[in-house]
Structure 1
Amino acid sequence: MPEISTAEAILKAKCPRCHIGDIYKHPALHTGFSQTHKTCPHCGLMYEQEPGFFFGAMYISYAFAVAILLGTSFVLYFGFNDPPTWVYMLAVPLVTLLFVPFSFRYSRVLYLYAFGGIRYDRSFARDRSNP
């Protein structure tokens, strides 16, 4: 199995230590998009370092929400020639809600990678079933 980069592991929501195990149990477009594994299915890393560890991810999620709000507003303003206010009132919350599964998941993944104190370890990346 070829090694993947840290950027690719973040995009695929893989374990920060082995880059193989999934952090989430289900895909983003599933009703259980927020369900995480307690530990990495491959290397056994415990994802939540302490109770309430992922509360800090709310700041990253907030930044995502602001970016989505501003991006949607700019697209409406410049791309659709500043439509009436009701279009903004309808489109901005709708687009924000559509992106909730992605902003939720990636805010947690980025927080885990940035503040979890876990670094990639090649020895955990090897296939455990084939020593």
Structure 2
Amino acid sequence: MADTPSSLPALLALRCPRCHQGKLFSHSALNLRKFDEMPDACPVCGQAFEPEVGFYWGAMYISYGFSTFIVAIVGVLLYFLAHDPDVWVYVLVVALAVLAFTPLMFRYARAVMLYAFGGTHFDSRYCKAS
């Protein structure tokens, strides 16, 4: 197991859980029309990215956790940096922050779901030499 690289950097880079090389998403997160598109399988090792039908429904709960974290952080920052503004300021800024981070929350929620519950782990036999 000493030669097994950590999955955390691969997860953060949104790479395949089996080979840590193939991209999980087809387009940039900045492409707002296609930020959610995933290939059916890893382009490097062929690992299926949807282990079963409806697999990513659970990612909604992970995304909800990310949203809650953003709401809490933005709320605390507004409280201290803006000296406890009116409620409408909290609502507007938090809503804009969550909306701005939606593509990233979507992607990382799916990646966490795949890494945690997809049943696939790193296997160096599937890595292509760089």
Q: TM-score, normalised by structure 2?
A: 0.92
1:42 is matched by which residue type in structure 2? Answer: V
Indicate the residue corresponding to 2:25 in structure 1: 24
The whole-number CA distance in structure 2 between the counterparts of 1:40 and 1:22 is: 7
The sequence identity of aligned pairs, in percent, is 44
Structure 2: which 5+ runs fail to align? none
Please give the root-mean-square deviation of Cα atoms over the aligned residues, in Å: 1.5
The residue type paired with residue 30 of structure 1 is N
Structure 2 matches for 1:84-99, cutoff 5 A?
Answer: 84-99=86-101
Distance 2:70 2:30 in 1: 18
Give 1:8 shift.
1.1
1:79-116 alpha-carbon deviations (Å, 9 max, x no partner): 21101112112111011100000100000000100000
Aligned residue for 1:124? 126
Aligned partners of 2:101, 2:95: CA distance in 1, in Å? 10
Per-residue Cα deviation, 1:35-88 (whole angstroms, up to 9, x for no partner):
001000000001101100010111100100100111111110112110111211
Aligned partner (choices 68, 78, 81) of residue 79 of structure 1: 81
SS in 2 for 1:99: helix
Does structure 1 residue 11 correspond to structure 2 residue 12? yes
Alignment of 1:94-109 (within 5 A): 94-109=96-111
Matches within 5 A, 1:50-61: 50-61=52-63
Residue matched to 1:70: 72
State which drifts further: 17-26 or 3-12.
3-12
**Secondary structure class of the residue paired with 2:52:** coil
Structure 1: which amino acid aligns with 2:126? F
Stretches of structure 1 that go unaligned for 5 or more consecutive residues are none
Q: TM-score, length-normalised on structure 1?
A: 0.91
For the 8 Å contact 2:56–2:113, the answer to whether it is kept is: yes
Candidates 35, 38, 45, aligned match of 1:36: 38
Whole-angstrom distance in 2 between the partners of 1:47 and 1:79: 42
* Cα pair 2:19 2:44 within 8 Å, conserved: yes
